[in-house]
Structures are given as structure tokens and as C-alpha cells.
């Protein structure tokens, strides 16, 4: 069963939310998408999760897709993490007693890492894909940027998202993929990364970090450094040779999802 609606976040901003609930779910996952994209690019992941009895909640970040908010803009890193928290709390209220997992890709992985650091113990597990947590590859140039927060730069991420040309082409044609990025958002990410470094000991949740070795947008060193810094006793790191940024869209995506689902099942 799929349901779409707008929900109000902590400050009243309306976020576009989609639920996919299988019969008798045994767990619930919140999917957190990346920069400039939207939840609709995670249909295949959602189908795989639901087929395995995992309910899926996914939403468009503020300023992205069909959500409200100034386009591709944050005034500070707490906005993105507290939006995630609103959705996780909704999922837990509607699916009481089920273990909660947060799945974050790229900027969504950054948001999921912030979530686990700011709200430890809320999730049964965190799944990170190409998570931007240290900025070892300066894909947007040096940060912070000395420019007005409400000024914008082009979204130049497209060619590096995946090794599959069809995925890159679809990304470029997608009307819900944003074409510009605000300086405010970029600088908020820089602030969030500094906060993550300073508070890594607060991250204690079970976590699996997945990264493509050929990721040209977010360095696999980000995941290596995060893995070493956090305090989780249950942590797994997998670096996949030859894969690009969007490992959930690479040709071997189903093999990777098999690994993710096996990891989740051991923690239900």
C-alpha cells in the first residue's frame, strides 16, 4: 500500500512524504535522498525493501522535489537533521514496536550521520551510501564559500553519479532534479561536517557504510575516516571496487541490496 501526503516539519515547512507499507511489516526504514535529487529516485530500493517485509518512509528534503522551502537551501545543519527526525518519529508512531533503520545516500548519508550523532539510540541501524561526512573530495570547491547565502551555483554533479549512462541520462532529464545549489546549503554542510568531527564519539548506533572506490563526488576516505572516529561497537565498512557514487543504481545494485537486507535481518 502506497500513500502520499504533505507533512509539517518542526518549523511548519511542508515536506512531501511517501509511505510504502507491505502486509505485516517486520521493520521500518526511512530513506534520506541526496543533494539536488528526490525520493522518487529510490523506487527500486523501496520495492526490494517492501518485498522483504520492510515498510518504507521516504520524503523530499525541504527545498527539493515536491517539498516546500527555499530551493536547495539550508540556513544551518540542524534543519536537515531535524527534518529527518520528524519523519523517523512519524514512522515510529505509525509502526509501533518495529525496529527503525535510516538509509542515507550522499547528502542523505550526511543527514543520517547527523541524525545518529544528535539522536543516538533512536534507530536500530544506520545504512550509509556514499555518505558525505568529511569532504575529502572538494566537489563544490573550497568550503566555506565567501558569498551571499542566497546566491547559487550550477549543479555539476550529474556526470559523476553512476557508471550506467542510462542513469546519468535520466538524472539530467528528471524535472525534480534541481539545477542549482545555494551557497547557504554548501556552507551549512561545512558547518555540519565540523560538528560531526567534534561529536563523533556520540555516534554509537549499529552502522554499515557502503562506498564506491571510484566515487568521484564523495571520497571513500570520508567513510574510512568516519568508521575510525565513531564509537559504535557494531560497525561495518564496505568499499566496492570500480563502483561510482550511486551504488544503489550501479549494474550490480541487487547484489549490494542483498548485502544490506542481510545486514538488516540480523538486527531485527
Sort strands 27-32 and 14-20 into parallel, antiparallel or unpaired: unpaired
Report the domain count for the chain.
1
Please report, for the domain that includes residue 47, its CATH number: 3.40.50.1820
Q: What is the pTM of this model?
A: 0.96
Q: Give the pLDDT score at 170.
A: 87
pLDDT in tens, 90-118: 999 999 999 999 999 999 999 999 999 99
pLDDT tens profile 125-174: 999 999 999 999 998 889 999 999 999 999 877 567 788 888 888 888 89
Catalytically active residues are 106, 215, 245
Q: What residue numbers bound the domain in which 216 lies?
A: 2-265
Q: What pLDDT does 159 receive?
A: 65
Percent pLDDT > 70 in the chain is: 99
Q: Which pLDDT does position 161 carry in this prediction? A: 77
Cβ partners under 8 Å of residue 114, min gap 6: 77, 80, 81, 84, 192, 195, 196
pLDDT-flagged residues of the chain (< 70): 1, 158-159
Amino acid at each position: 500500500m502506497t500513500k502520499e501526503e504533505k507533512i509539517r516539519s518542526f518549523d511548519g515547512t511542508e515536506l512531501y512524504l511517501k509511505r510504502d507499507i507491505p502486509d505485516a511489516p517486520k521493520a521500518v526504514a526511512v530513506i534520506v535522498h541526496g543533494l539536488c535529487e528526490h525520493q522518487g529516485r529510490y523506487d527500486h530500493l523501496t520495492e526490494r525493501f517492501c518485498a522483504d517485509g520492510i515498510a518504507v518512509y521516504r520524503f523530499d528534503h525541504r527545498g527539493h522535489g515536491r517539498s516546500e522551502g527555499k530551493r536547495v537551501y539550508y540556513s544551518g545543519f540542524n534543519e536537515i537533521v531535524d527534518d529527518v527526525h520528524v519523519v523517523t518519529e512519524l514512522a515510529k508512531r505509525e509502526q509501533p514496536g518495529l525496529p527503525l533503520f535510516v538509509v542515507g545516500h550522499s547528502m542523505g548519508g550526511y543527514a543520517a550521520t547527523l541524525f545518529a550523532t544528535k539522536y543516538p539510540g533512536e534507530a536500530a541501524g544506520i545504512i550509509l551510501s556514499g555518505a558525505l561526512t568529511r569532504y575529502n573530495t572538494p566537489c563544490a570547491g573550497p568550503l566555506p564559500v565567501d558569498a551571499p547565502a542566497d546566491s547559487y551555483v550550477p549543479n555539476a554533479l550529474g556526470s559523476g553519479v553512476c557508471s550506467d549512462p542510462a542513469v546519468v541520462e535520466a538524472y539530467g532529464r528528471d524535472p525534480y532534479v534541481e539545477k542549482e545549489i545555494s551557497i547557504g546549503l554548501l556552507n551549512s554542510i561545512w558547518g555540519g561536517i565540523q560538528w560531526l568531527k567534534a561529536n563523533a564519539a556520540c555516534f554509537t548506533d549499529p552502522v554499515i557504510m557502503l562506498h564506491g572506490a571510484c566515487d568521484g563526488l564523495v571520497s571513500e576516505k570520508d567513510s574510512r575516516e568516519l568508521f575510525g572516529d565513531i564509537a559504535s561497537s557494531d560497525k561495518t565498512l564496505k568499499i566496492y571496487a570500480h563502483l561510482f557514487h550511486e551504488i544503489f543504481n550501479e549494474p550490480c545494485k541487487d547484489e549490494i541490496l542483498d548485502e544490506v537486507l542481510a545486514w538488516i535481518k540480523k538486527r531485527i
